[in-house]
Chains A and B, each alone.
Chain A
Amino acid sequence: MRYITPRKAAEGLGSAHSGTQDHWFLTVSACALALLTPLFLLVVGCAIGLSQAELIAYFGRPWPALVTALFITVGMVHFIKGTRVMIDDYFQHAARKVAIIVSVIFSWAVIAAALFALAKMTFVTIAI
Chain B
Amino acid sequence: MADVNRSNRPLSPHLQVYRLPLAAVTSILTRITGHALLAGILLLVWWLVAAVSGPGAFAVADWVVRSWIGFIVLTGSAWALWYHTLAGIRHLFYDAGMGLSIEEAQKSSWAIIFGSVVLTLLTLILFFIG
Residues of A within 8 A of B (CB): 27, 30-31, 33-34, 37, 41, 44-46, 48-49, 52, 55-56, 59, 68, 72, 75-76, 79, 82-83, 86, 110, 113-114, 116-118, 120-121, 124
Chain B 62-86 near chain A by CB (<8 Å), digits 1 or 0: 1001100000001000100110010
**Known contacts A33-B85, A45-B130, A55-B51, A86 near B95 by CB under 8 Å:** no
Whether a CB of chain A sits under 8 angstroms from the CB of B48 is: yes
Q: List 18 A-B contacts (CB under 8 A).
A: A30-B92, A31-B92, A33-B88, A34-B89, A37-B85, A44-B44, A45-B123, A49-B66, A55-B51, A59-B48, A79-B34, A79-B37, A110-B45, A117-B49, A118-B48, A121-B48, A121-B52, A124-B52
* Across-interface contacts of A37 in B (CB, < 8 A): 81-82, 85
**In the complex, A55→B62 CA distance in Å?**
11
Whether a CB of chain A sits under 8 angstroms from the CB of B24 is: no
Complex contact A83–B130 (CB within 8 A): no
Give the interface residue-count category, chain B: 20 to 34
**In the complex, A6→B79 CA distance in Å?**
50
Residues of B within 8 A of A (CB): 31, 34-35, 37-38, 41-42, 44-45, 48-49, 51-52, 55, 58, 62, 65-66, 74, 78, 81-82, 85, 88-89, 91-92, 95, 123, 126-127, 130
* Across-interface contacts of A56 in B (CB, < 8 A): 51-52
A71 to chain B, nearest CB (A): 9
Instruction: Report the nearest A residue to B89, measured CB to CB.
Output: A34
**Known contacts A27-B95, A33-B85, A86 near B31 by CB under 8 Å:** yes
* Across-interface contacts of B62 in A (CB, < 8 A): 52
Instruction: Report the nearest A residue to B44, measured CB to CB.
Output: A44
**Known contacts A48-B66, A52-B58, A117 near B92 by CB under 8 Å:** no
B45 to chain A, nearest CB (A): 5
* Across-interface contacts of B34 in A (CB, < 8 A): 79, 82
**Known contacts A30-B88, A30-B92, A31-B92, A48 near B51 by CB under 8 Å:** no
B49 to chain A, nearest CB (A): 5
Instruction: Report the nearest B residue to A85, measured CB to CB.
Output: B31
Instruction: Give the 3 A-B residue pairs with the shortest CB-CB distance, closest first.
Output: A117-B48, A120-B52, A52-B58
Contact of B49 among A27, A34, A82, A113 (CB under 8 A): A113
